[in-house]
Amino acid sequence: MTDASWSADLAALPPCWQVALRAEFEAPTMRALAAFLAAERAAGKHIFPAAALTFAALRRTPLDAVKAVILGQDPYHRPGQAMGLSFSVPEGVRIPPSLRNIHKELAADCGVAIPPHGCLTDWADRGVLLLNTALSVEEGKAGSHARAGWHVFTDRVIQAVNAGPAPVAFILWGGHARKKAAMVDTARHLVLESDHPSPLAAARGASSLRPFAGSRPFSQANAFLESQGRGGIDWRL
């Protein structure tokens, strides 16, 4: 039986994700992860995003609607930022530096206006799975849950998308995301790799073989999707 800590989360997912991930939700690794998070919260630690938003990316973008995957590392670790969608923050929250660089690349790539906010829910609603490799983090400690077991679950999510019948554009930014490239069948899907959009990575861009600035991931993803008869993504926000 599904662990009680996750049963409501599984039930809240679109049916296509329930079918693909039920066994993973029932796995010992997920039961252990539920126990770990419960213990962390019981110890008074602040965990982001809020528990109700842990699987927001899957709820927002059904498996059978995925056109692109943008893979991040883990949620934002400051109060008010994390919303369960990689790189996205709620409207009214200051736009993080990495997301500002994403906005700049989007404008340069597609000629769209830079939005005044950092909320990416429109992308999620249009078929962009905004997934992190870890779905939780402790306040102020980036990467703190990277070894808590989330990678097993999120690898299964990637595998489910890879196994689907429709071609998908996988957009992998930074070392953590790019390690997942080997999981994708490039005979069927597109894989776009570059450095992370963070200012630190950008500062190293001059010596990088795959700098984020100028990588044109949005137009490349659309060209691929259109060539496969799926139609491009409206990247405007």
What are the DSSP calls for 22-33, one per residue?
HHHHTSHHHHHH
pLDDT score of 103 more than 60:
yes
Q: How far apart are alpha carbons 92 and 186 in whole angstroms?
A: 38
- Token pair of 105 as six digits: 């690349």
Determine the 3-state secondary structure of 173 from DSSP. Answer: strand
pLDDT score of 77 more than 70:
yes
Q: Quote the pTM value.
A: 0.95
- pLDDT tens for 126-166 read 999 999 999 999 999 999 998 899 999 999 999 999 999 99
Look over the chain and give the mean of its residue pLDDT values, rounded to a whole number. 94
**Exposure string for 8-35, b = 16+ CB within 10 A, e = fewer:** ebbeebbebbeebbeebbebeebbebbe
In order of 4, 6, 140, 165, the CA distances from 70 in angstroms are 30, 24, 23, 19
User: Measuring CA to CA, which residue among 154, 136, 133 is closest to residue 145?
Assistant: 136
Backbone angles phi, psi at 225, to 5 degrees: -60, -40
Catalytic machinery residues: 74
- For residue 49, is the peptide bond before it cis, meaning its omega torsion is within 30 degrees of 0? yes
**Is residue 204 very low, low, confident or very high in pLDDT (cuts 50, 70, 90)?**
low
- pLDDT tens for 183-203 read 999 999 999 999 999 887 766
